[in-house]
Structure 1
C-alpha cells in the first residue's frame, strides 16, 4: 500500500449536518488534523483546490449486499467491485450483511464474510442476520458484540422456507439485542402473505415480472412494520426498519415515533425516484431487472418517502445494492418468484439524492449530509469518526461539485451489472474528488481504487436503555 501524503484542501465550503462554513482542511495519517482559514501546508503536502465546491463527509451506505449468495446464484459485485463503485460516487463506507443459512453458526458466517471483504477498496462493517434460533445463536450474538464490533442484527420477515424469521425468533433476538446494547433491524414484509399471494398469482397464469409487485402490496410491508415495531415496543429495544418503500410502513414508523418510541427508518435511493412502471416492460430482461423487495411503488409512495426524510421520520438513505445480471435473472423466466431479487445503486445514491433532493429544494445541504452519512454514523455508533468533517474524524471526504452533470448509465458505471435502474437520468451535482482514509481514490472521473485498502469498522455497543415499561409494571405488582 502506498504511503499516505498530507493533503490540504483549500477554500472549501464545509458542509456538516449542523452547519456550513468556509475553511481549509488538513489531513494527515488518514485523519483530519486541522481545520481553519489560511492554513500553512506542512512539507510533503499535496494541495487540492476546492474553491467553488462543497466539502462533505464521505457517504455511508448502511445497506448493501456484496458477493451475496442468494436464490441459487451470487451477486456479481464482490466487495472490491462494489466498494470501488461506491467510491466513484462518494460513498466511502458501507455496512453490508452477514446472512447465515438456516442452522449455520453466526460466527462461522461472520468469518466467511470477513474473508470475502478483505478485497474491499472502501471501508466496511457488518450487520449480522439472525435466521434461526437456539442457545448457540444467543451465545454467538454476545461474542459478535463484545469481540468483533457488531452492534446490529438483521431480521428478514420475508422469504418463507429460506431465511425468514418468525415471531419467536424476533422476540428472542430482540431481547438478546437489548441485553447486549445492539440494534435490531428488520426487513418488513409479511413472508407468509407474500408466499400465499405468489402461489395464487402463478395459479392464475401471472408468471412474469408484473406478478412481483402484485405479490408484495404495500399492506404486506405495513403489517410487518407494525408487528416488528410492536414487538420492539414491548421488549423496550430501539428498532431500525430497512428500505421503507411505502406509505403503510412509513405511517407505522410515524405513529410509533409520535408516541415516543425509538424507531428509525431507511429509504432507498431507488424507491425515492423510480416507480413501478418498469415491471410492465414487455421485454422480460428489462422488467426482471427491476425485481427487488420491497418492489418499486406508485409515485404517491415516492412523495411520502421524501416527506418522511424532510420531517425526520426517515433518517438514512441506502441502496440495497445487490447486483444480478440478465442471465441470472433469467432463472425466473417462467416463474417471477424465482427471479433473484436485487438492483444496484451504491455508485449513484449520493448524486441521485442530491439532484432530486437538494436541487429541487426538498433538502438543504446539511440535511443531505444527515441522510447520506451523519445519521447513519450516529445510529450505528461510529460518529464522529465517520459522518463529520471535524478534527479527529477519519479523512473520508468528498469534494462535491454542484455544477457537474452526469448521465447515469450501465454503459459508464463501474459496477459489473448490466442494468442501471437510473438509466438515462441526468443528475447535476457529482464528486470531483473523493478521499478514503486520507488517500485520493477518485479524481476528475478517474477511479484509483485499491483492492484490499478498505478498513473494517468496529462499532461499539450502546448503553442499554432502562427496563421496558412492562417489566417495571410487573415488578410493581
Structure 2
C-alpha cells in the first residue's frame, strides 16, 4: 500500500515545514516538497491543512472488568473511536486481581486486544507482591515488550498497592529499565471518608468529590515522589487533577528528580459542579477518579502544561453506560468510575489550547503524541513525522467545525462529558501504518487491523548511575560541629 499526502504543512514538536509525505509498507519513505503522485494508490490533498504525527493516548481502559461490571467499550470500538479522533495508538492497562499471576493477566488482555484496529501496547499493574511478581516483571520486560508498571494507591480492598508493594516493585522496575507509573490518591483516606459520608446520609454522586478532596491526591503524590526519590527511581504520575499534585511534581523537578506528569482533557475543562446536578444520571455519568475539581485547579493544569510541569495529555478512557452507573444509585461509592474521551481528546485540546492561545501547534503535537512516545520509549518510531518512522499520521483541518454529541460519536457509551461543545479543528483523515483508516467522518478499518507494539526497556538506570559515580565520585563533606554537642561513638 502506498499513500501520498500533498500540499500540507508538516507539524512536529520541534518545528513546522512544508512537505509532501509519501508512505509505503507502513513507513514514511519520503518527505519533501513536490513529490510525484505517479503510481501511488491513494493521494490526499492537504492544502490548507496540517500533517501531524498520530496521537498517542497513554492511558485508556478498554473492556476493563471493574467494580462489578465491564467497561462498555471493547478494543475494537474503542480503537475505532480513537482513530476517528486522530489517535493512532493507545497504551492500555493489564490489571491483575490480587493473587493473579501477572503473566496470566497479560495474556488474557492480549487476547481481548486482538480485535484492536489501531496500534496498542500495555502497562501492567502491580496489585500485590510475592516472588512470582518479581519474576513475571522480568519476563514481561525481556520477552513481551512491557516497559512500564502501574501502581494504584487508591481502591482499598481491591487493587490498591500499599507502600510495602511500592518499595518492592519500584527497585525491581529500576533494575529492569522499566518506568513505574502511579495513580496517586490516598486509598486509606478515601475509604475512611466514604464511610464517614455514608454515616452522614450522603449517598448521591456529590459524595464522590467529597470523599476524594484535592489534598487526598496531593498527599499521595507527595508521598510517592519522596519514596521514588529515596529509591532513586524515575516516576510517572497519571491523571493529575489538583493544584497539590502539580505543586509536588514541580517541586521535585526543580530539585532534579525525574518525575513526569499526565493530565486528562476532561480535568482541564470540567469542574466539580457536575456532581451536584439535580439529574442523578447526569451527575453519575461524570463519576471518575480523581473527580473533577473546582475551577482554580483547571487553570493550574493549563499553567502546568504550558510550563512543562506536565508533559502528556490522556483520557483515562473507561466507559460505563447509564444502567451500569445505576449500580450505585443508593451508594455513590458503588458507581463505576470512568468517563469517555479517546475520540475527543485532540479536538478539545486543539480548540481550548491552540485556538485560545494557550499553546502552539508544535506544543500540541508534543502534548498529544511526541512526549508520550519519548517517555515510553516509542520515539522516533512513533510521535514524529520523519523518514523511517511508522506512517501513523493525522491530516488536521484547523477550520473543521464540529459539535460534540453522544448520538453522533463513535465511542460505545450513551453519554459524553463534552456534550454540546463546539470545537474548531479536527482530523479530516487518519492514517495508521500507511493505511487510510478514517476519512469524511467514517472509520475505514476492520477489527484486528492494529498491531501490538513492543516497547523496549530503557538502559538500566542503576548501571548508568554506577558508571556515573565511578567517573564522578560523590564527595562527602563533614558537617561542622555544633557548639555544646558531643560525638557519640
Q: Same fold (TM over 0.5)?
A: yes
Shift of residue 409, structure 1, vs aligned partner: 1.2
Residue 290 of structure 2 is aligned to residue 294 of structure 1? yes
- Residues 27-426 of structure 1: matches in 2 within 5 Å? 27-426=23-422
Equivalent-residue separation in structure 1 for 2:95 and 2:469 (angstroms): 32
Cα deviation 1:233-257 (Å, max 9, x = unaligned) = 1111110000000100000000000
Shift of residue 327, structure 1, vs aligned partner: 0.3
Q: Secondary structure at the match of 1:411?
A: helix
Residue 460 of structure 2 is aligned to residue 464 of structure 1? yes
Equivalent-residue separation in structure 1 for 2:203 and 2:285 (angstroms): 15
User: Conserved in 2, the CA contact under 8 Å of 1:236 and 1:467?
Assistant: no
2:22 aligned to 20, 26, 30, which one? 26
User: Conserved in 1, the CA contact under 8 Å of 2:75 and 2:116?
Assistant: yes
Aligned pair count? 473
Are residues 43 and 345 of structure 1, via their aligned partners in 2, closer, same or farther at CA, if it must alter by over 3 Å? same
Q: Secondary structure at the match of 1:63?
A: coil
User: Conserved in 2, the CA contact under 8 Å of 1:398 and 1:434?
Assistant: yes
Cα deviation 1:350-390 (Å, max 9, x = unaligned) = 00000000000000000000000000000000001100000
Greater C-alpha radius of gyration = 2
Residue 461 of structure 2 is aligned to residue 435 of structure 1? no
Shift of residue 464, structure 1, vs aligned partner: 2.1
Equivalent-residue separation in structure 2 for 1:368 and 1:210 (angstroms): 33
Cα deviation 1:63-92 (Å, max 9, x = unaligned) = 000000000000000000000000000001
Shift of residue 470, structure 1, vs aligned partner: 12
User: Conserved in 2, the CA contact under 8 Å of 1:380 and 1:459?
Assistant: yes
Q: Secondary structure at the match of 1:384?
A: coil
TM-score computed with the length of structure 2 as normaliser: 0.95
Structure 2: tracts of 5 or more residues without a match:
479-489
User: Conserved in 2, the CA contact under 8 Å of 1:234 and 1:470?
Assistant: no
Q: Secondary structure at the match of 2:112?
A: helix
Equivalent-residue separation in structure 1 for 2:64 and 2:469 (angstroms): 39
Equivalent-residue separation in structure 2 for 1:454 and 1:201 (angstroms): 45
User: Conserved in 2, the CA contact under 8 Å of 1:87 and 1:449?
Assistant: no
